[in-house]
Amino acid sequence: MAFLFIWIPQLKALLHHYYPIEIDPHRTIEEKLPHMVKWWTKAHDCLCQQKIQKFQIAEVVRESNAMLREGYKTFFNTLDQNNIPLLIFSAGIGDILEEIIRQMKVFHPNIHIVSNYMDFDKDGFLQGFKGQLIHTYNKNSSVFENSGYFQQLKGRTNIILLGDTMGDLTMADGVPGVENILKIGFLNDKVEEQRESYMDAYDIVLEKDETLDVVNGLLKHILHQRAGWRSTAPERAGVGPVPAGLDGEGASLRGRPAVSLLFLVCAEESPGHPEAAGSSPLPPPFPVCVLQGLWEPCQVGGSKSHSK
């Protein structure tokens, strides 16, 4: 959510220089890595020069037009009510992201945020950032060193991964015992240039969709199926065997949630990145073929979903 500081001219200059490199489909991730490290390092240094004070964060968020995707209340509350852990993996600024979620009144106990957190001196001025630098292309277990969080998730074998960059595809790397991952990609910018790579990498691709309609629909369907499987035999419920790819080896029949872990990436997180413009809500119907674990190409409310 570093776009809250977009007024800083240096951040704008860095954005214009490095963002085209980040999304360049003709460069490998290995080629992009050193540029991303330079970008984030320079952006953080720039912020440290602004004499930002800790108490200003809440005020800046309150006065900004920062917002979460439409449908966020249903999304956050559904996960909390069903005891589904939500890991938010962001290359933005954790203090700001956390404050936004708190002011939206959806910061529930099931949330764990991994991001770049500010480090303040004894007088409350920003002096640096804590821990390892997190940028677009290192969102994986490498930034969880000396953390037992992934081990706490042992036994949760099913993941819905939400991402808006190619770097988000590695967010589940390091989670032990994963059986099924459904990857949903939000393609917000340079749609024509990036569509092919997104279609190859994600199972569902949503183009310029600023809502969580599809995700909420998937959760509603899966949790409804879970309730049906727990209350009666699958044959009696009329749904047949437990669908492959949703609940490996019938886990929900043993009372385990069908969606046992969900990853979310914070949108517009590149340093100094402007807010997304435009909206194309995706109402039902939802991709039943994906819900059944078949993962065949299908159409979702005007946008494409895709499977490898």
Mean pLDDT of 226-241: 47
Output the pLDDT for position 16: 92
Question: Any idea which of 55-59, 91-95, 119-123, 232-236 has the lowest mean pLDDT?
Answer: 232-236
Output the pLDDT for position 271: 62
Helices (H), ranges, 106-212: 149-152, 191-201
Q: How confident is the model at residue 20 (pLDDT cuts 50, 70, 90)?
A: very high
User: Per-residue pLDDT for 103 more than 90?
Assistant: yes
* Containing structural domain, residue 126: 2-305
pLDDT, tens digit, for every residue of 123-176?
Answer: 999 999 998 899 989 887 777 655 677 777 777 788 899 998 888 898 888 777
Enclosing H/E stretch for 300 = strand 298-300
Output the pLDDT for position 8: 75
User: Per-residue pLDDT for 266 more than 60?
Assistant: no
Q: How confident is the model at residue 216 (pLDDT cuts 50, 70, 90)?
A: very high
User: Per-residue pLDDT for 69 more than 70?
Assistant: yes
Mean pLDDT of 57-66: 88
Output the pLDDT for position 225: 74
45, 11 contact by CB (below 8 A) = no
CATH of the domain at 267: 3.40.50.1000
Tell me the CB-side half-sphere exposure of residue 7, using CA atoms within 13 A.
4
Distances (CA, A) of 127 to 38, 43, 91: 18, 13, 19
Output the pLDDT for position 17: 95
Output the pLDDT for position 21: 94
Provide Rg for the chain, Cα atoms.
20
Q: What are the DSSP calls for 244-260, one per residue? A: TTTSGGGGGGGT--SS-
Output the pLDDT for position 229: 52
Q: Does the N-terminal peptide bond of residue 287 adopt cis geometry, omega within 30 degrees of 0?
A: no
User: Per-residue pLDDT for 27 more than 80?
Assistant: yes
The whole-chain average pLDDT of the chain stands at 74
Calculate what percentage of the chain has a pLDDT beyond 70: 69
Mean pLDDT of 179-183: 88
Mean pLDDT of 53-74: 90
Domain count, the chain: 1
- Cα three-residue angle 192-197-200, rounded to 5 degrees: 125
Q: What predicted TM-score, i.e. pTM, was given to this entire model?
A: 0.74
Output the pLDDT for position 279: 32
Calculate what percentage of the chain has a pLDDT beyond 90: 35
